[in-house]
Amino acid sequence: MSNLKSNVKDLLEGWNTIPNWLSFIRIALIPVFMVLFLKGYVLPAVIIMALAALTDLFDGKIARKFNQVSNLGKLLDPIADKLSQMAIVIVLIVTYWDNAIKYLFMFFIAKEVIMIIGGVILLSLGMRPTAAEIWGKVATNVFYIGMIFILAFGQNGALCDVTGFTLPNTVTWILVSISAVCTLISLLGYAPGFVRQLKENKKAKGSK
């Protein structure tokens, strides 16, 4: 328990930074996006999520450039990503409920649930979840680009009426499949670090 308290204290140290506030804003925009989308205000919803995705591109760069990297930011940024991605997936499942692709969308939710459970286990042991590796960042960027494109031009897309263009179902499957492959590679990439941390924790307890 003392390790957990110490870990929380470290997380809150130097929390008041621009990158962290961008992550807070991204999290706050998630329910706004979902309410607007599910009430039929698709275009404003997509614009809000696109803006939220942009904050994800800039918060890390700002943190590094202005020396505002914080322990909270390392945890908050992936949490904001996970919540944003789950929100997008949920509205896409609702949109494509009569299409078999909904099961592929559910894979993304399963991945995030696994990541959250893993993070909770590490935090309960007084350890911090492993930071995103290159494939984690690639998977996140591919997800945002592909899914926002589907929200804009897919079934009942925000820009379909304006442009007169709707993504063929085959193209939607391809975009989602590419994102799913990147996500799976990312998930498998976290596994060795997770197992290593558990072994180190077990070894440390055994040496006491």
Do the beta carbons of residue 70 and residue 15 sit within 8 Å?
Answer: yes
Tokens in use for 187?
């998930």
Using CA atoms, how far apart are residues 175 and 196, in angstroms rounded to an integer?
A: 33
Question: What pLDDT was estimated at residue 132?
Answer: 62
Range of the domain at 194: 2-206
Specify the number of domains making up the chain. Answer: 1
Determine the length of the chain: 208
Task: Please calculate the CA angle 136-142-145 and round it to the nearest 5 degrees.
Answer: 140
- Of 55 and 32, the structure prediction assigns the larger pLDDT to 32
Mean pLDDT of the chain: 85
Contacts of 120 (CB under 8 A, 6+ apart): none
More confident residue, 122 or 99: 99
For range 89-108, the mean pLDDT: 94
Tokens representing 182 are: 């990147």
Per the CB < 8 A criterion, the answer to whether 179 and 146 are in contact is yes
H helix runs in 71-133, sequence order: 71-95, 101-124
Residue 4 has pLDDT above 60, yes or no: no
Does the pLDDT of residue 3 top 60, yes or no?
Answer: no
What percent of the chain lies above the pLDDT cut of 70? 88
pLDDT of residue 96: 95
Specify the higher pLDDT residue, 8 or 182: 182
- Give per-residue pLDDT as tens, 40-70: 899 999 999 888 888 877 777 777 777 777 7
CATH number at residue 191: 1.20.120.1760
Q: Is the pLDDT of residue 199 over 90?
A: no
Q: What is the pTM of this model?
A: 0.82
- Is pLDDT larger for residue 70 or for residue 6? 70
What are 46's two structure tokens? Answer: 């997509």
Which pLDDT band holds residue 14 (cuts at 50, 70, 90)? low
